[in-house]
Amino acid sequence: MWWPVLAILALLVGLSLILRGLRGRTIGDHPHCTKCGYDLFGNRRATRCSECGADLTAAFSVRIGQIKRRPRLIVGGSIVLFLVILPGCLIIIGNSRNYNWNQLKPSAWLQYEAFGPTTNLMDDSRQRADSAWAELIRRQMAGKLTARRASSMVDVILRKQRDPGFAAWKGDWGEFVEKQRGDGNLDDKRWATYMEQGLDPSLSLPVEVRQGEPISLSVHLNSRLGNGFHARHVSGSVSLGRWTFAGEAGNSGEHAMAGWGLLALEPLIVSPEDFTSDPIPPGEYEVSYTPSITVWPNPARTPNPSYTWTAPLRGKVHIIAASPPVETAADPMVDAIRAAISVELDARNGGRALITIKEPPVDLAFEAFVRIADSAESRIGFVSAKKGADGRLDAYGWNRSEKLKQSLPSAVTFVFRPRIDWGKTDNQSRIWKKTIEIPDVQVKRDFAGPASAASNP
């Protein structure tokens, strides 16, 4: 390219102009002291300068004329140099921004930047942390990260994992710990700490359950592990107040999960008759559930990844009185309300129930149930809609009980019981207060594809 040649020529021209300007030119013919510039005219026989005392007999101690610098040449040369140097500086600065300066930083500095207070995922400090972490991983892959530094990084990661207020967990950190375990650099104690802190399971229960209804126990993992782990949940014993149930055999599910987030494992469905043949009195009960959760991190990082967590999880559930018998509403409004309600039911994958209310003639607020037999019912949830508006309920998990699966017919009845306290209106007196039944809803369970709506009689 020709522009570097022009830049070099312009640089040489600018330097020559400045040198000529600084060198100046000789004015006059009087002798002057070379050291101090004193005019020696009339003192030709003097051997020493009367001004500075320099020896005038030495070579080059006296010069003829006075040197005067040439400011125009200096200014012109400076302008030429400025026009050459400025673009060069801009080019150098631009290239330096793209240069990976982390390659020159010590590992301790990079560790500080990677694990600093970077809770804001969008700020510059987070970008610096990501760059520092990438350089640490590059050094680990190249075998340039010392065992002492890797151990220090694991300690920092475990502290971040343990802190519930730290919201910037990265799955890459978990991958680093798992890789250290796979390489034999992580002891059993710290590995167990990592897995226990990373699972952080909790028990999720419905707020209230009617007498005779099944109870769904869901385990949530607030996971802080490496990316790509698998978790398997096997149900264990359940205690409800003074009653104990051993759990359903074979109730398990396997899930793949990224390193950070909330994972809901396969729920366990228990029925009151599993605990006792007598009705459980209404009231608030403490529930204790002991599941078995097995975790497999990515085997590419950890050759022997299996880790099993077993400990009781506790919560509370409120059992309310059973619903009154279904009443047949002899009212001309019933047909119009039935026409506004459409239902779909799918028994696969634990059961899905979709209820849609389309522009009802009155305000509606229902608690929905699926009636399997004359008395056996499974609760779906709450659905409501204001007059002329729409409402929708898409619920999962109504069919996870093995007993319910065994007795499930090809068609069921939907029962909608009024719940005034769930109405979407300021005037509860306008809410429909009678029970609605929709019989002969076909159950889909043996073929793929979305559930289709059953016709409402």
149: left (phi over 0), alpha (psi -120 to 50) or beta: alpha
What is this structure's pTM? Answer: 0.52
Give the per-residue SS3 of the chain. Answer: CCHHHHHHHHHHHHHHHHHHHHHCEEEEEEEEECCCCCECCCCCCCCECCCCCCECCCCCCEEEEEEECCHHHHHHHHHHHHHHHHHHHHHHHHHHHHCCHHHHCCHHHHHHHHCCCCCCCCCHHHHHHHHHHHHHHHHHHCCCCCHHHHHHHHHHHHHHHHCCCCCCCCHHHHHHHHHHHHCCCCCHHHHHHHHHHHHCEEEECCCEEECCCCEEEEEEEEEECCCCEEEEEECCCEEECCEEECCCCCCEEEEEECCEEEEECCCEEECHHHHCCCCCCCEEEEEEECCEEEEECCCCCCCCCCEEEECCEEEEEEEECCCCCCCCCCCCHHHHHHHHEEEEEECHHHCEEEEEEECCCCEEEEEEEEECCCCCEEEEEEEEECCCCEEEEEEECCCCCHHHHHCCCCEEEEEEEECHHHCCCCCHHHECCCCEEEEEEECECCCCCCCCCCCCC
**Cα 7 from Cα 85, distance rounded (Å):** 9
* Cβ-proximal residues to 90 (8 Å cutoff; 6+ apart), any chain: none
Name the CA radius of gyration of the chain, rounded: 42
Q: What is the pLDDT of residue 426?
A: 58
Report the pLDDT value the prediction gives residue 260, as an integer from 0 to 100. Answer: 54
Residues 6+ apart with CB under 8 A from 91: none
Separation in Å, CA 262 to CA 186, 196, 216, 396: 26, 15, 18, 18
Query: If you count them, how many residues does the chain have?
Result: 457
> Quick check: 324 and 212 in contact, CB under 8 A?
no
- Do the beta carbons of residue 184 and residue 207 sit within 8 Å? no
Across-strand partners of 357?
Answer: 341, 391
Predicted confidence at residue 151, as pLDDT, reads: 92
User: Domains in the chain, please, with CATH?
Assistant: 3-98 (no CATH), 146-322 (2.60.40.10), 333-442 (2.60.40)
Of 421, 411, 409, 422, the residue nearest 357 (C-alpha): 422
pLDDT value at residue 150 = 92
pLDDT along the chain (457 residues), means of 10: 77 86 81 83 79 83 82 88 82 69 86 70 68 88 89 92 79 87 87 86 80 76 79 78 65 51 61 68 87 76 72 87 57 83 78 86 86 70 87 73 61 83 63 84 59 34
pLDDT at 252: 47
